[in-house]
Structure 1
Amino acid sequence: MNQVQRPVSRLAVIGLVLAFGAAAALLAGGLGHRAGWWHFTSGLKLAEWGVYGALVALAVSLLAAVLTWPDAARKRGFPLALVGVLATLPVIATAGYWVHAARTYPVINDISTDLDDPPVFRDMPNPTDHPGESFAAKQREAYPDIVPLMLAAPAQQVFEHARALVDERGWSVVAADEVDLRIEATDKSRLFGFVDEVVLRIAATPDGTRVDMRSRSRLGRSDLGVNAARIRAFLDDLAARNRDR
């Protein structure tokens, strides 16, 4: 006797379609702005709807998984429901990180190792001054480890290593002055391509070299901790490179 084949759960199919649609919306929002297809506000709105879609997809897929569990013998589609659940996780995790960062880090977007005399952006399209004490106070509280890097190596060598690290990171060099020992460059966020500006100021000292670094975001009020993380990682790598050679 032929066994009657159970129908595929519509909920499982709907959840899967919603999950992939949500992921596509998040990616399209960022990559579309990076490609110049739309303004960043439109990209953020599209990404926001992608997150909402992922939450709905998660709920639908979980319900479908319960209704199609192999032992339930109701409808087929448990593998589809499981894939739907898994497909929502990267979108929800990304949104969760953004929310966590927004609540954790201060609402500032300009970080400097020298708050008394911040390195100056001379060659950027909009070379504005440092925001001042209001930002400085928040930075001191949130990032007490962001301080000048002191090295025993000669300044010219440090400059060459710094320039090499900038190139290795794929930053776009705006200016590199071998006389004043200054480097200005830009970096882009991976998804949306938001531009952050970086300036390095290298100076000889009686004991070696002092390196100051400033990193700021062109857009937004909060950088979600990105600029401090960039400075921290770059100076750690620069220190390691000058210890190894």
Structure 2
Amino acid sequence: METNLKIALVQSSIFWHQPEENRTHFTEIIRNLTRAADLVILPEMFSTGFTMTPSEIDQKEGNKTLEWMKSLALETKMAITGSIAFFEGGSYTNRLFFVKPNGSFEYYDKRHTFTLAGEQLSYSAGKKRVIIDYGGFRICPMICYDLRFPVWSRNTEAYDLLLFVANWPQPRVSAWDALLRARAIENMAYCIGVNRIGNDPNGHNYNGHSACYDALGEQLVFSEKEEVLFVEISKTHLTEAREKLRFLDDRDSFILQ
């Protein structure tokens, strides 16, 4: 039987340091999707914007947003994922939550903090990769700057979908485009990147370029405007590509320290 996953990529602007306004904004988008979806993907730090001063926001907002994701996933029967500034154990992490329709969730903490913006000064770095099983697919979630580090995202665990959420600014968006396609090709997997749109108070402009690439690097969807993109990925297509072109059999072995 054919196994497909219908995915909605939400390319949106973000209200700066306004979690409640962002939750209201994304609730409206998710409740009013024009097509059916199994998984909804929101950008990096979708509840605040890419802030280096998370202490200016109530520490409880992270848990409020997680509870909102759980409630909306249960209501809509769709999985919802995206990252937020999350306070736990005395420090913040840039944490991606993957909330399933039954309300259960898994999370991934951003491994590569963006030192150019001083992210390492405000957020603790993650230490482990995560593989999430959902809808017949093995999904490897990552966050923004992780995209620049191919060893960290190397397909050593037979994942099917490599997923990046981001606040990736317009001046460097050509790198975003090139690296998303490269990660798909080298890992023989679908690769999705969901970026925000609009401006933030730090003077950064974001022009989207959210996209999905298949295992051969073919672009399936792409956008530069504020909208929801829809894509359906196929396990059969992926299996056929891997069986015909067995490139992963020849990959290098290594150990991450």
> Shorter-chain-normalised TM-score: which range?
under 0.3
Question: Under a length normalisation based on structure 1, what TM-score does the superposition of the two structures give?
Answer: 0.23
Question: Under a length normalisation based on structure 2, what TM-score does the superposition of the two structures give?
Answer: 0.22
* Higher-helix-fraction structure: 1
